[in-house]
């Protein structure tokens, strides 16, 4: 039993990562837009699982709350409004074969460089920390002291986007 538990705590991270890649591929390859979104939802949940295995339980909860529970809901909402499922015959491939081959080759080389440059050891054996201390305070402390400027810039960026969206919809209403 202990061997099983230690196996999972050592390799669960890599299993999760593998399944995440599979669902991410599902997002791209499913022809139905709703199936794509369901795959994207699974990807987001699995990414939260990866954070959890890395002992970042606060980030994992926020990932679930914001991405799985917020942003993808809006994706589905838009899909329901525009009835995309009728456009399944959409042409999914273009004719820029050479350019895309070059780009893909470049991407694969970049990924390979990063992949072979990273020292892979056994995944950190975790989950004990989540029941005890926790990283919530550490995240808050770092975010609001060392990285306060990027944090504020990001919030202003979001505010600009929000104001922009309101302005755009108001304009359309008048004309």
Partner 1 sequence: MDFTMINIVIPAVKILIVFTVVLLAVLIMTYAERKVIAFMQVRLGPMRVGPWGLLQPIADALKLFSKEDIIPTMADKLVYFLAPTLAIVPALLTFLVVPFGDKTTFFGLLKQPTSMAISDLNIGLLYILAISSVGIYGILLGGWSSNSKYPLLGALRSAAQIVSYEVPLTLALVGPILMANTLSMKGIVEAQSKGMWFVIPQFFGFLVYMACAVAETNRAPYDLPEAEQELVAGFHTEYSGMKFAFFYLAEYANMIVVSAIATVVFLGGWLPVPGLAFLHIPAIIWFALKVAFFLFIFLWLRATYPRYRYDQLMQIGWKFFIPVALINIFVTALLVL
Interface positions with partner 1 (CB under 8 A): 1-2, 5, 32, 34-35, 38, 41, 45, 48, 57-58, 60-62, 64-65, 68-70, 73-74, 76-77, 79-81, 85, 130-134, 136
| Residues in CB range of 12: below 8 A, 6 or more apart | 53, 123
Is the CA virtual torsion 124, 130, 133, 137 positive or negative? Answer: positive
CB of 113 to partner 1, least distance (A): 35
CB of 110 to partner 1, least distance (A): 33
CB of 62 to partner 1, least distance (A): 8
Nearest Cα neighbor of 127 from 51, 46, 18 is: 51
- CA dist 145 and 102 (Å) reads 43
| 4 versus 92: smaller Cβ distance to partner 1 | 4
| 1 versus 90: smaller Cβ distance to partner 1 | 1
| 22 versus 112: smaller Cβ distance to partner 1 | 22
- CA dist 134 and 129 (Å) reads 6
Using the structure block, give the residue that is written with the tokens 């350019």: 99
């Amino acid at each position: 039993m202990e061997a099983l538990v230690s196996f999972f705590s050592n390799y669960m991270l890599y299993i999760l990562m593998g399944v995440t890649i599979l669902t991410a591929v599902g997002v791209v390859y499913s022809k139905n837009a709703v199936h794509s979104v369901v795959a994207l939802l699974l990807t987001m949940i699995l990414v939260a699982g990866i954070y959890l295995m890395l002992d970042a339980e606060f980030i994992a909860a926020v990932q679930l709350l914001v991405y799985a529970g917020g942003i993808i809901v809006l994706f589905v909402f838009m899909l329901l409004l525009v009835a995309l499922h009728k456009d399944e015959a959409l042409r999914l491939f273009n004719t820029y074969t050479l350019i895309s081959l070059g780009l893909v080759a470049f991407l694969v080389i970049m990924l390979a460089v990063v992949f072979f440059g990273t020292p892979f050891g056994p995944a950190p054996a975790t989950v004990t920390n989540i029941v005890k201390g926790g990283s919530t305070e550490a995240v808050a402390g770092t975010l609001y002291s060392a990285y306060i400027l990027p944090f504020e810039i990001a919030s202003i960026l979001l505010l600009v986007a929000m104001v922009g969206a309101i302005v755009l919809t108001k304009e359309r209403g008048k004309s």
